[in-house]
Amino acid sequence: MSESATPLPPGRRVIIITGHYGSGKTEFAVSLAMALASGERGYPGLALIDLDIANPYFRSRERRSLLEGAGVAVYGSLYREEITAELPALGAAARAPLEDPGCLTLIDAGGNDSGALVLNQFGKYFRADITAVLAVVNANRPETSSAEGAVSHIEAIEAATGLRVEYVVNNCHLLRETTADTVRRGHELCERVCGATGRALLCDCYPAPLLRPEELSELGGRLFPLGMYMRESWQ
């Protein structure tokens, strides 16, 4: 994958994005959807299913207008408007993109192992040949600040869902205080996690408004720019 390429596991059309609360999982999901909407993806359809129905903050469906304007179909709460944001309800239509072989589908899953349990009701769609599970890891979150903590988190998600996490996404950030060294620190942690578990590092995220890819050139061709869609002015 080159610097400008969009990070997608090869040959998969259902991409499940997991991660601890505060990892930046939803920012990654929305940024990935927006990048795919304007680039090559290999499928005529593109959808984002928001299954993070327990967390009232930073939900990808809050950017429904932005995403749909870019050509991304958004599924989640059965209520089109977020007047009942706290109600853990999912519309039956959320299954539509999973049943469509021509649709590349991103799933923003719950923020930890208990949140990921919502995935189980869709389990029949997650065939191993079309599905990839990603774990977004932020080395600046207490729960995943060590390789041991990150591995424990991944194993908890796997135990809760019966799915195997194949890929790790480095999303180490400190909001507006993020520097190139912040990203490098996360890269080193994720490399240790991958080395210990046999997972693959899919990409290293960096905040595009704050850093240039040239500042991280030593990390190779796995850089992915985050668009900072979920926080006003990247708080």
Strand partners, 19: 136
Residue 50's contacts (CB-CB under 8 Å, 6 or more residues apart) are: 59, 60, 61, 74, 75, 76, 77, 108
Task: Supply 233's token pair.
Answer: 């002015």
Mean of the per-residue pLDDT values of the chain: 87
Rounded CA separation 55/111 (Å): 8
Sheet order of strands, 200-207 included:
73-75, 45-50, 103-108, 14-19, 131-137, 167-170, 200-207, 223-226
In order of their start, the domains of the chain are 14-226 (3.40.50.300)
Q: Note the pLDDT of residue 114.
A: 73
Strand partners, 78: none
Q: What is the pLDDT of residues 13-22, one digit of tens each?
A: 999 999 988 8
The answer on pLDDT for 77 being more than 90 is: no
Q: What is the pLDDT of residues 207-220, one digit of tens each?
A: 999 999 999 999 98
Whether the CB-CB separation of 169 and 128 falls below 8 Å is answered with: no
Task: Supply 159's token pair.
Answer: 């135990």
**Model confidence, pTM:** 0.89
- Report the range of poorest mean pLDDT among 69-73, 103-107, 117-121, 158-162: 117-121
Q: Within 10 A of 210 (CB to CB), how many other CB atoms are there?
A: 19
pLDDT, average across residues 131-155: 96
Q: Within 10 A of 77 (CB to CB), how many other CB atoms are there?
A: 21
Rounded CA separation 219/25 (Å): 21
Nearest CA-CA partner of 46 in 23, 69, 27: 69
Residue type, 87: L
Rounded CA separation 221/204 (Å): 9
The answer on pLDDT for 29 being more than 50 is: yes
The answer on pLDDT for 227 being more than 90 is: no
